[in-house]
Amino acid sequence: MAVADRQGERITRRQVDKFEERRRELAGAALQTLSELGYARTSLREIAQNSSFSHGVLHYYFRDKVDLITYCVRQYKADCVRRYDRIVTDSDTAGDLRAGFTAGLAETLVEDAAVHRLWYDLRSQALFEESFRADVLEIDATLQDMIWRIVTRYAELSDARVSPSPAATYAMLDGLFQQQLLHHLAGDEEARTRLAHDAGTLLALAVPEGG
């Protein structure tokens, strides 16, 4: 490859990296507004009014609010996946994994409730708006894979095998999380404790002793 071609490739790569970095910065600033207002009540103009960025800047980096919202949720969920993958990596026993996983769920239920609410809002909208579906299905698949890694590692550490399918396992834990999120948003102070307990129970049911 000629020197000029290599230089051009480096410049292009830097431009792409800078563009992506700017998108992440804008998404981080917009996430709070999106989480508070939800999909239906939020526009790019409203997001701009609640941040230090102009409407024109947001529109330059994101096609529309669908593009922005899916980017925000995708970025947050990717962080979640990395967080739980670390729990899997750092756990030496089934008890450690169960404790780390259930504690992580309880913590994020409270600390990140608004973002999780936005995710469920987005997933519900995908039932009606085709523009959301591909992204929602892709994000959902990464979350299912994450849960499956946790459960299969728990089975390995327990010298057992997983009974339900990956989809069924994910559906049970996700349904439990969404249920307790609603209770938490309604002011139920026991929601996080109940989530940790019930998630541990589901984990044990998915990986029965002697299975």
Higher-pLDDT residue of 63 and 31 is: 63
| Cα distances (Å, whole numbers) of residue 103 to 38, 96, 106, 140 | 27, 11, 5, 22
- Tell me the pLDDT tens digit for each residue of 106-159: 999 999 998 899 899 889 989 998 988 999 999 999 999 999 999 999 999 999
Q: Is the pTM of this model over 0.95?
A: no
- Tell me the pLDDT tens digit for each residue of 64-110: 888 888 888 888 888 889 999 999 999 999 999 999 999 999 999 99
| Cα distances (Å, whole numbers) of residue 204 to 21, 100, 173, 177, 209 | 41, 14, 12, 16, 8
- Tell me the pLDDT tens digit for each residue of 37-58: 777 777 778 777 777 778 888 8
- Classify residue 183 by burial, with Cβ atoms within 10 Å: 0-12, 13-18, 19+: middle
Round to whole Å and give the CA distance between 163 and 124: 29
Q: What is the pLDDT of residue 32?
A: 75
Rounded to the nearest integer, the mean pLDDT of the chain is: 87
